Each structure stands twice: as structure tokens, then as C-alpha cells.
Structure 1
Amino acid sequence: MTSVINTGQKAHIIRDDKEAIAIAHELAAEFAKGDSERDQNRRLPAEEVEKFSQSGLWGITVPQEYGGAFVSNATLAEVIKIISEADSSLGQIPQNHLYMVEAVRLDGTDEQKKFFFDLVLQGKRFGNAFSEVGTKSVNDVQTKLQPDGSDFVLNGRKYYSAGALLAHWVPVIASNPDGKTVVAFVERDAEGLTLLDDWTSFGQRTTASGTTIIENVKVKAEHVIPHYLAFERATPMGAIAQIIQAAVDVEIAKAAVRDTIHFVRKYTRPWVDSNLEKGYEDPLTLYNLGNVQIQVHASEALLRRAGEFLDIANESGLEELKVVEASIAVAEAKALATEAALLATNKLFELAGTKSTLEEFNYNRHWRNARAHTLHDPVRWKYYAVGNYFLNGVYPPRHPWL
């Protein structure tokens, strides 16, 4: 099991949106240097994740009354976008951590908020143990939380536990005795908790993911959040999860465009029938690159718009219609981000040519990352939700995937 780097130092506390974005740019410039090498060797980014969380960026959504900056959701998406262009795996790793911060904000007791938000501001990281396989659907939770005196005992098996290998705490989605979904926060070194470094996907290879085995793990009552409450009323819980996923996809697309431009300018020859001197003068290349760039810019705009809708929903006191509008706006952003990421990563090779497929460039990581990451939830259902809302006035379902 991969060891967690722990400097013993408390994380920097970011004070506002401007500082969050500035720090994200600084880190991205550093993280981009080792992106390809980490991917090729599947080297988990332990040092990078430690710098990332110590920077304070993992605590930017902690409410101000608990010591955080509580940045806008537009800023949250922008921060993830900036980091993801440098390394999409690093951009994805804090997704579930930030999701848990929102879960505590919405449904934690005041004591839980004080406890967990303090951990976050110290630089402690939450991983995740959410997904199961072989069940009827993603919300069919077989992991069980059972009473054990005044506390609980937890048993189950989870997969795709992104970030867990480098986390200090592993929040586990479980079913309580009433069949309702809760989150049990488990410390990484808890007896009975086993994390396996067995993630074998061809994409997002360094997300510190794998299998989580939970065998008779003791859980304190104060470490359990009634997560089902977030979906029994209008909240931005699902939209928060999705806007972060969308931000990762947008930046996979941007990274692919960046490398396409670099390669075409430096290496690509014009097609023989064009009668031109330079590959970057080819009119069909220009047309196709223009199309990709427009799609990427449109996805960026929808992402920013989605963040603004989420902020409006929060400012409204979670008025149901405002929450619904935010969920739909995020669905639109996620849909276009998926399309842009797949388009940009495919066009890279078409426009750059055969040489761009050589292993020395490792450009295939962009397509692999886009293809793997955009499968987290089916984008076809985003279009359905958007169409059904605008045509029939049907509100989208309440769950973490919309």
C-alpha cells in the first residue's frame, strides 16, 4: 500500500478567490513538468498531492464561519480546470474530497463541521470508497453499517476509490440498518481497512485509485453523516460532484489543443495536394483546429456559467427552482465538456499526423484520459435530462451523477 507523505505542517489557508486562482496557476506550472513521465510509469503523485493539499486549495470550499474562504463555485471549477490542464489525474484526485466537504457542509452537525473542517484546513485529505461492482445499479449499496454498542461496525468492498491511496481519511458510502445511504468516515490506518493499488485502466492512471476492502471496521457515531438527506431536499450535492468532473474534461481538451498546436507548428508537413510550404498553412487543418477550439471555448464558457448558477442557488438559500437550474446548467457543461474532450484528443492525431503517435511524445495519454474519465457517468443521460427539463418541465433526478 502506498504511503502517505505527511510533513506534519499545517496547510496554508487561502483567504479569497483571487488567491486560490493564483496558487492554482503556480502549482500547475510545476505539475505539468512531470505529467507525461508519471503517466508512462504509473508513478503515483504522492509528493505532488502533498504540495497540492498543503497549498490550501483543498480547503477553499470550507465555509467562512469555520475558517475557510468558501470561494465561489465558478472559482472552484476554475481551480480544478487549471490543475487538470497540467495533469488531469491530479485534477481528479481532490474531486471526492471536495464532494465530502460539501456533504459535511449540508448535513453535518455543528460538531462534525468543526471537526472535519478543521482537518481539511490542516491539510488532511479525504479519499473515497463509494463505487461497487456487480450490483443492480450504482445506487444499490451493499456495504453495510451496523450498530455496535453506541457506535458502528462497517463491512463491504469498494472499487474505483480515486484518491484513497494518498488520503488520510477514507469516507465510505454505506447502507444503514434502515436501508438509507450514509457516509462513514474511516481513518486510513483503521484496523480492518485495506487499500489495494490495483487500478488498471488505460486512462487517468495516476489517480491513486484501487480497491478498498472493509472488514469489521469500527466507526464512531460522530463520524457518520446522513448523506441521504442531501437528496431528500433540493441541494447542489450532485451538481458539485459533476461540475468538478466537467472541469477535468474541459482541461483534458485544452491540453490536447495545446499539444496539437505545438506539434503542427513544429513538425507537421502540409498535405501533398495543398501545394503549401508549411503544415500550419493547410486550410483543412485550420478549419478542423478552429472547430475544436470553438468547442473547447464553448465548454469553458458553459463551465463558468454552471458555477455561477450554483452560486445563485446557494445565495437563494437553496430555493428548489434555483437548485434545479444549477443542476441543469452543470449537466449542459458536463455534456459539452465530454464532447470537446473526445473531439480534441482525437483530432490531435488527425491533424498532427503519424509522427505524433510515437511513444516519445506520449500524446495518447490525452485520449486515454478523456475516454476513461468521461465514462464516470453516461453523458447521454445529460442530454435527456436537459431536454426533458426544457421541453416538459421535468426536474432532474437527485443523485450524485447529475
Structure 2
Amino acid sequence: MSITAEPTFTVVGQQASPEELAAVRERLAPALEILRAGVVERDAARELPREGVAALAAAGFAALRVPREFGGAGLSLTQLFAVLTEVAAADPNAAQALRGHLAFVEDRLVSSPGPERDAWFARFVAGELAGNAWTDAAISKQGLTSTRLSRKGGDWVLDGTKYYSTGSIFAQWIDVYADSPEHGEDVIALVRTDDPGVELSDDWTGFGQRTTGTGTTVFTQAAVLDAHVVPGSERFGYQTAFYQQVLLATLAGIARNAADDAAAALKARARGYSHGAASGPAGDPQLLQVVGELDATAFAAAAVVDAVSAALEGAAAAAEARWVGGGPTAEADQAAERASARGQVVLSASVPAAATRLFDALGASGTSVTAGLDRHWRNARTAATHNPWVYKARILGDKLVNDADAPLLWSVGSAG
């Protein structure tokens, strides 16, 4: 969708030069090494990657999308998700843990320009991260939330319990979805994690993505400033596609790491089978084929991420244009949603399959818990379980057959 008016400000239509992008990668490289170094041990012990995430924030990750004139790196969405794929290749848990932060930054990028938006840019540049708390822990009706923003004296306070608070345990802020009767609609409330009314728990028990900090958050009269309450209707329209794209980049990183780990393990193997196709495993064409298939899957996954990023770029440009008389954003939001759905359908099948296929290149020793190669399948299967792909496939089919639009928002809860 094209922008119909020339904006007086531009925070979306940006792209770092090759030299600037290389500098970003160089700054982040030590943090990626920290994440990569202990990933197997952290997975086994369910130890959160606190040091690595903090190192990423200190190296400027929090402000990758913030424009250069505000002190950020000024990356395009395509560049951002290419970098996030690299983070996921080092530790997919860290990549998914940053999901809420990246979405909140994107929301601020396309929000109304002014001092409040600029204040958030400054926080991101300073390395502050935002977590996520949107899903109610208690079973509630679809489309409703039991988390409530209300007045106490002259101040706003937040009460409720959220699950799937991905990344909040690493962050300084939490992006919370809440009911607000006084606003007449649901709102987004921004809460400090160090507020005495906020209790964060690392109680996620999934067999994969074990260290994303995806646990429970309890809010008890947590303080919220007036400036930190945003009507839900103002949230950026392509958010579901954006959230899904973080998972696609996570899956692409898993695919790349699985291919690299399989190649390293095959190269290091000394023992082979008498009925193999070569004297040694590293020269066996059948085993080399398996590694090649994994490499091809990783290549395809990265290409999918790039394609979805391109659709998101269009939605972001349309969202920003509304502040300068641009046209409707619905068409661009729909295009982004369909692109992310297509990517989800493909990668939800191909990446877990590749993470299983890697064992065909190895002997029984490849299943050793000390090697931790099973984490690739567990992580991929868990990441692919979010927002079930079967529904996305149906939605895509409904568009082709019946020209039906995709839902841009959905909720989890009881239908009764």
C-alpha cells in the first residue's frame, strides 16, 4: 500500500546501510557468544539467559528499530528479523523472550508523534526492555479479560493475573492488556516490573523453549501513570502478524542451528558402519545428504522470514501514513496477516521435521543428553504450537475460495 502524503517525520521508512548493519552485528556479537556458550546447559537446568539478554540490551538491541536521529540503529523490519534469526540461532529462548519488547517498540514507532513517543525512544536507547502480559491465567470467556485498570484516589492501579508473560522477567516494563470500565474499552497499561505490586514467576513448564521466562505475573494495585495508558483501539493493526513473525524468526534460527550442529557432529564422528556408503561418516554421501537437507530447510526458513518482513514493511508504512493524511491501513494489515500465516503453515511443519531428521545423520550417540540435540525439536515443536497453524491454513483457504478477510485479533478463553 503506498503512502499518499509525504510525512513530516519518518520513523518507519528507514533502512540501515550495509556498513551500519555490519556495525550493529559487530556490537551484538559478544552478546550472541554469551548466549551460544551455555545454551545446552541452560536448557537442561531451566536456567534463564539473564546475562545474554542483558548483554543484548546493553549492546543496543532494545533500540534496533528506533530511528538514528533518536539514537537507535534505524533498522528496517527486514533487517531486524534477519538479526533476530541470528539471535535465535544462538539461543531461541532469548529470541522469543524479546517478542513483547519488539512488538511494543513497533507500536510506539507508528503511534502519534510527540513527547511521549520520544520518551519511549529514549528509554529503548538506554537499554530498557518491555515484556508482555496479555493472556489471563484464569479461564475466562473469549474476548474478555479479568485484569482490571481502575482508579484509586487520583491514580490508576492494575489488578489481575496473567500467564504467558514472555520476556517480562528480563524487562523493566510490562505491556499489559486490561479492562478499563472508566475508558469504556480495553486498554494497554505500561507497568514497571520493579513496582511493589508486581510479582513475576518463572513457572513455565513446557518441554521446549524452557527459558523464555514465559510464566505468571500477578498485579496487585500496581501503579500506572496516565501517560502509560493506551486505548486498545490504538494498538498497531498488524500486531498479530508481527508477533507471529517473531516466532517464524525463532524457527528459522532453530533450523540454522540444527543444521550447523548436525554438520559439526557428523564431521567429528570417528565410528562408521560396515554397511555405510563410505569408509568414514564425514564422507558418506547418504549422511551428507541429510545435512544438506537441513541446510536447505534453514535457507528456506530464512527466505520465508524475509518475505513476511516485506509484507510487514507495507503495513508499517500504511500505519505511519495515517498521521499525515494517509489512506486506510486494513488492506496492508490483511496482506501482512496472510503472509505470516503462510509462513507459519510452512515452518510449523518443516522445521520440527528437520530437527528430527538431523538424527538420521548421526549414530545413537547423537541422542546423548549431554549433546542436547533433542532441544532443537523440543524448541521448534513448542514455538510452532503457538496460535495453531491449522486455523491459519483454514483462514488462507477461506480467502482464496470465499475472499474472506483474516481476523486481525483473537483471544483465548472459554466459548461459553
Q: TM-score range by the shorter chain?
A: 0.7 to 0.9
DSSP 3-state at the match of 1:225: strand
Paired letter, 1:185: L
5+ unaligned residues in a row in structure 1: which ranges?
1-13
- Counterpart selection for 1:355 from 358, 361, 365: 365
Asked if the contact 2:34/2:51 (under 8 Å) is kept, the reply is no
Task: State yes or no: 1:198 paired with 2:200.
Answer: no
Paired letter, 1:247: A
Asked if the contact 1:24/1:83 (under 8 Å) is kept, the reply is no
Give distance in 1, aligned partners of 2:275 and 2:33.
Answer: 40
1:120, distance to aligned residue in structure 2 (A)? 1.2
Map of 2:13 onto structure 1: none
DSSP 3-state at the match of 2:369: coil
DSSP 3-state at the match of 2:177: strand
5+ unaligned residues in a row in structure 2: which ranges?
1-15, 322-327, 412-416
Give distance in 2, aligned partners of 1:362 and 1:62.
Answer: 36
Give distance in 2, aligned partners of 1:137 and 1:285.
Answer: 51
Give distance in 2, aligned partners of 1:271 and 1:325.
Answer: 51
Please give the per-residue CA displacement for 1:173-207, whole angstroms capped at 9, x wherever unaligned.
Answer: 11121663321111112122111222222221222
Task: State yes or no: 1:127 paired with 2:170.
Answer: no
Further displaced range: 240-249 or 257-266: 257-266
Asked if the contact 1:24/1:82 (under 8 Å) is kept, the reply is no
Asked if the contact 1:107/1:227 (under 8 Å) is kept, the reply is no
Please give the per-residue CA displacement for 1:17-49, whole angstroms capped at 9, x wherever unaligned.
Answer: 443344344532442112112222222222211
Map of 2:194 onto structure 1: 189
DSSP 3-state at the match of 1:374: helix
1:129, distance to aligned residue in structure 2 (A)? 1.7
Further displaced range: 27-36 or 113-122: 27-36
Give distance in 1, aligned partners of 2:406 and 2:66.
Answer: 27
Map of 1:9 onto structure 2: none
Task: State yes or no: 1:293 paired with 2:295.
Answer: yes
Paired letter, 2:389: V
1:247, distance to aligned residue in structure 2 (A)? 0.2
Give distance in 2, aligned partners of 1:73 and 1:19.
Answer: 17
- CA pair 275-363 structure 1, distance change in 2 beyond 3 A: closer
Give distance in 2, aligned partners of 1:226 and 1:246.
Answer: 28
Map of 1:95 onto structure 2: 99
Give distance in 1, aligned partners of 2:113 and 2:225.
Answer: 14
Asked if the contact 1:239/1:326 (under 8 Å) is kept, the reply is yes
Please give the per-residue CA displacement for 1:367-396, whole angstroms capped at 9, x wherever unaligned.
Answer: 221122222221112222222223332221
- Counterpart selection for 2:258 from 256, 260, 283: 256
1:65, distance to aligned residue in structure 2 (A)? 5.8
- CA pair 337-26 structure 1, distance change in 2 beyond 3 A: farther
Task: State yes or no: 1:373 paired with 2:389.
Answer: no
DSSP 3-state at the match of 1:147: strand
Asked if the contact 1:309/1:329 (under 8 Å) is kept, the reply is yes
1:280, distance to aligned residue in structure 2 (A)? 4.1
Please give the per-residue CA displacement for 1:67-114, whole angstroms capped at 9, x wherever unaligned.
Answer: 434421101111110011011111112110111112233446733312
TM-score (norm 1): 0.87
Asked if the contact 2:46/2:211 (under 8 Å) is kept, the reply is yes
RMSD over equivalenced CA pairs, Å = 2.6
Map of 2:216 onto structure 1: 211
Give distance in 2, aligned partners of 1:286 and 1:387.
Answer: 37
1:291, distance to aligned residue in structure 2 (A)? 3.5
Asked if the contact 1:242/1:400 (under 8 Å) is kept, the reply is no
Map of 1:162 onto structure 2: 166
Paired letter, 1:388: D
Further displaced range: 240-249 or 366-375: 366-375
Please give the per-residue CA displacement for 1:218-273, whole angstroms capped at 9, x wherever unaligned.
Answer: 22221111133337xxx322222111111011111111111111212322755554
Which runs of at least 4 in structure 1 moved beyond 6 Å after TM superposition? none
- Counterpart selection for 1:311 from 296, 310, 313: 313
Further displaced range: 337-346 or 241-250: 337-346
1:134, distance to aligned residue in structure 2 (A)? 4.2
Map of 2:231 onto structure 1: 226
DSSP 3-state at the match of 1:128: strand
Aligned runs of 1:7-156 on 2, under 5 Å? 16-63=20-67, 66-107=70-111, 110-136=114-140, 139-156=143-160
1:349, distance to aligned residue in structure 2 (A)? 2.0
Asked if the contact 1:104/1:225 (under 8 Å) is kept, the reply is no
Paired letter, 2:255: A
Paired letter, 2:278: L
Give distance in 2, aligned partners of 1:398 and 1:228.
Answer: 12
Fraction of identical pairs, as percent: 29
Asked if the contact 1:77/1:307 (under 8 Å) is kept, the reply is yes
Give distance in 1, aligned partners of 2:142 and 2:396.
Answer: 21
The alignment of Structure 1 onto Structure 2 pairs a total of residues equal to 385
- CA pair 22-380 structure 1, distance change in 2 beyond 3 A: farther
Aligned runs of 1:330-349 on 2, under 5 Å? 330-349=340-359
Give distance in 1, aligned partners of 2:280 and 2:306.
Answer: 36
DSSP 3-state at the match of 1:399: coil
Map of 1:391 onto structure 2: 401
Aligned runs of 1:270-289 on 2, under 5 Å? 270-289=272-291
Task: State yes or no: 1:266 paired with 2:268.
Answer: yes
Paired letter, 2:152: D
1:160, distance to aligned residue in structure 2 (A)? 2.0
- CA pair 39-271 structure 1, distance change in 2 beyond 3 A: same
1:328, distance to aligned residue in structure 2 (A)? 1.4
Further displaced range: 366-375 or 175-184: 175-184
Further displaced range: 366-375 or 241-250: 366-375
Further displaced range: 254-263 or 319-328: 319-328
Asked if the contact 1:296/1:340 (under 8 Å) is kept, the reply is no
